[in-house]
Amino acid sequence: MKKLLLLFTAAALLTACASVQETENMADCKFALRSVELTNYNLTSFDFDVIIAITNMNRKEAAALKRFEGELTVNEEKMADVSLEDIRIEPNSTKNAKARLNVPMTAFNSKLLGLISMGSGTLDYHLTGTMYFEGPLGTEIPVPVDIGRIGSYN
């Protein structure tokens, strides 16, 4: 019985250590708001795909993110809340995390609607929020993030 308990404890500690190491590796990752793409629109709302590129700079170990909660702004106007869950990035690679957003027409002011409908303006989009990592014993470690991009919506 003692051997079984010892084996279970050792396995739990190794798993926790691996999880903590993957979380630490996330601190060395690079983040970029790759794109915000208009995918659909109608009289009441717009649908967007938000792509966040996460690059793991570590050459030997994976990085892990438990969840992300934030908000997307366009030309300094809040558009929508963004959330992602359970992202794992392999060593020395980039993962494009995608979030689908449905933004009601009421979130747009007349200036933004004009820029989108004409397709000729530049939209500055910005993503801010908090990343949560899994810490020891299932705790969550919050880290604030601020990712922006200046460019057109297409």
Q: pLDDT tens digits for 62-116?
A: 888 888 899 988 778 788 898 989 888 898 999 999 989 888 888 776 656 665 6
Residue 117 in this model has a pLDDT that exceeds 70: no
Tokens of 27: 């601190």
Answer whether 0.95 is exceeded by the pTM: no
The CATH code of the domain that includes 20 is 2.60.40.10
Res 110: pLDDT: 62
Res 29: pLDDT: 77
Q: How open is the CA angle 12-17-60, to the nearest 5 degrees?
A: 130
Closest alpha carbon to 122 in 91, 85, 151: 151
Domain that holds residue 33: 2-151
Check the CA dihedral 36-86-82-73 and report its sign.
negative
Residue 34 in this model has a pLDDT that exceeds 80: yes
Q: How confident is the model at residue 36 (pLDDT cuts 50, 70, 90)?
A: confident
Longest CA span, the chain:
72
Average pLDDT over residues 3-32: 51
- How many domains, the chain? 1
Q: Mean of the per-residue pLDDT values for the chain?
A: 74
Q: How confident is the model at residue 30 (pLDDT cuts 50, 70, 90)?
A: confident
Share of the chain above pLDDT 90, in %: 7
Check the CA dihedral 70-72-75-77 and report its sign.
negative
Residue 57 in this model has a pLDDT that exceeds 80: yes
Lowest mean pLDDT among 70-74, 102-106, 117-121, 148-152: 148-152
Average pLDDT over residues 9-36: 58
Residue 20 in this model has a pLDDT that exceeds 60: no
